[in-house]
């Protein structure tokens, strides 16, 4: 748990990451930053999808609409938080010369998106009526 707390502290003081290990080739840090930005784009797309389901499917039963929208919004929030945590963990590993941290999050996110997509297929096939 202490490692997680240290990582969260680094979210708001990223200059402290430079205190660890050696300065890597800047290309590795830039690649890590591009990955972070890709995760943020994914988070924004999920959040936008959640709002789109809620706003543009008014004929969908409320429970379905709210459930699908909340699932997408929650996935977007988790993706954004995971992005910054993963960036810090990777930056620390790069500076220390360690292996990059493994993550189950991409698989989890993929499963959530697939479940929401299957639910949408069911809704489309079953009809939209209230």
Q: Can you give the residue range of the structural domain that contains 122?
A: 26-126
pLDDT (tens digit per residue) in 24-50: 888 998 999 999 999 999 999 999 999
* 92 domain residue, yes or no: yes
Query: How many structural domains are present in the chain?
Result: 1
Euclidean distance between CA atoms 125 and 120, whole angstroms = 9
Tokens for 21, please give them: 């290990």
Q: 74-85 in b/e burial notation, b at 16+ Cβ within 10 A?
A: ebbebbbebbbb
Closest CA to 116 of 39, 43, 46, 61: 46
According to DSSP, residue 1 is labeled -
DSSP string, 88-109: HHHHHHHHHTPPPPP-SHHHHH
Asked if the structure places residue 19 within a domain, the reply is no
pLDDT tens digit at each of 130 positions of the chain: 567 777 788 878 777 888 888 888 889 989 999 999 999 999 999 999 999 999 988 888 888 889 999 999 999 999 999 999 999 999 999 999 999 999 899 999 899 889 989 988 888 787 665 5
- State residue 1's pLDDT score: 58
Q: Is residue 18 part of a domain?
A: no
Residue 122 has what pLDDT?
Answer: 86
Assess if residue 21 is contained within a domain.
no
What's the predicted TM-score (pTM) here? 0.82
């Amino acid at each position: 748990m202490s490692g997680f707390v240290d990582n969260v502290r680094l979210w708001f003081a990223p200059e402290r990451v430079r205190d660890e290990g050696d300065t890597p080739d800047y290309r590795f840090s830039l690649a890590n930053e591009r990955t972070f930005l890709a995760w943020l784009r994914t988070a924004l797309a999920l959040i936008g999808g959640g709002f789109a389901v809620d706003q543009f499917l008014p004929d969908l039963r409320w429970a379905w609409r709210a459930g699908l929208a909340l699932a997408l919004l929650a996935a977007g929030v988790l993706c954004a938080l995971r992005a910054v945590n993963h960036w810090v963990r990777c930056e620390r590993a790069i500076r220390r010369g360690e292996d990059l941290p493994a993550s189950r999050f991409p698989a989890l996110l993929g499963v959530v998106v697939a479940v929401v997509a299957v639910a949408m297929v069911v809704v489309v096939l079953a009809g939209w009526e209230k």
